[in-house]
Structure 1
């Protein structure tokens, strides 16, 4: 509905509830958008590709286009349900730590790496899980990369379901994690003598 009035045209600032523009309100808005940048620093994996490290960084900062974030930007979405399990909200914390699919992936990674069962409540917990394990420096570095690659592959499965309607299969996700992990670790680290059969039995050997 369009209304007419005799008042003069004016600009309104939408960054503050008062609709009044001020340097203070701009600064407040900028600080709100930067929440977490200083306190949620992600340590990058030295051997995982940049695309996977950037994904991990954006996940911890909650800067990925989930339904939750699209709605905050006033973008209409058909559903807010998780595309992987259909039972939770499509947030990055749910996708990486609360979803049935991701839980099964972390369970299989735990068995594969012969470490205690991975439990997490947020994407930040997932990215830091390696530091809480009773492992040597080399094993922690390998596990860190595997976790980042696993998270990136789970996100990729979610996007394949959304854009190409490809059904999610745990075995496909795990196959890619193992294959890509082996390829990248062997060629992007100093562990050049990595053997496929040993890797498949236990990635942290």
Structure 2
């Protein structure tokens, strides 16, 4: 075993946050500002065929910024504990509401059969957003499919809000009808 021994001398502190190796408030500020990762690693590509409200909703969903039970408690906002606003079976998180909820699964079954697309298996919002790009569809059909996915997410979220804030009964048929009746998608296309 090798033991190191101290041979005298004075200790010195060196600030590694600046090339001058001198500590200053400015060097700390620069370190914090320039080392911050401001990227969102977002895969959301806005669809120009759907309203901005739908695009903003899916963008917020991907960033996990929708006001679900989990997101609000993470922000230290005290809300009464509740399960999923659609199925009442699991804790309300964005991934559950839009992807894993039994109501959402039925909506995705409808979307896949309506669009003549293989069954949709998604584990996250990013998986849903990536569907159109890996679908093998032509460019025009990809845009339409992307719009349908974004509108479906909006319709699921709206149904959740209608149940929580207005006490409406959630029916998959109503959500599906909302997706199918959004004629603006076809008129703009």
TM range (shorter): 0.7 to 0.9
* Structure 2 partner of 1:4: none
* Structure 2 partner of 1:188: 188
* Structure 1 partner of 2:179: 177
Whether 1:130 aligns to 2:144 is no
Written as runs of structure 1 = structure 2, the 5 A alignment for 1:14-25 is none
Query: For residues 125-157 of structure 1, what are the alpha-carbon distances to aligned partners after superposition, in whole Å with 9 as ceiling and x for unaligned?
Result: 111111121211111111000000000000000
* Structure 1 partner of 2:45: 43
4+ residue segments displaced more than 4 Å: none
TM-score for the superposition, normalised by structure 2: 0.79
Query: For residues 2-57 of structure 1, what are the alpha-carbon distances to aligned partners after superposition, in whole Å with 9 as ceiling and x for unaligned?
Result: xxxxxxxxxxxxxxxxxxxx857x949x958x5xx431131011201111001111
Q: Which has the larger radius of gyration?
A: 2
Paired with 2:142 and 2:43, the residues of 1 have a C-alpha distance of 18
In structure 1, which of residues 76, 79, 82 is the aligned counterpart of residue 78 of structure 2? 76
RMSD of aligned residue pairs (Cα, Å): 2.1
Query: Higher mean Cα deviation, 141-150 or 76-85?
Result: 76-85
In structure 2, which of residues 143, 146, 154 is the aligned counterpart of residue 144 of structure 1? 146
Unaligned runs of 5+ in 2: 1-24
Contact persistence 1:68–1:80 (CA under 8 A): no
Query: For residues 96-140 of structure 1, what are the alpha-carbon distances to aligned partners after superposition, in whole Å with 9 as ceiling and x for unaligned?
Result: 111000000000111111110001001111111111212111111
Contact persistence 1:59–1:92 (CA under 8 A): yes
Aligned pairs, how many? Answer: 161
Contact persistence 2:43–2:129 (CA under 8 A): no
Paired with 1:53 and 1:94, the residues of 2 have a C-alpha distance of 19
TM-score for the superposition, normalised by structure 1: 0.73
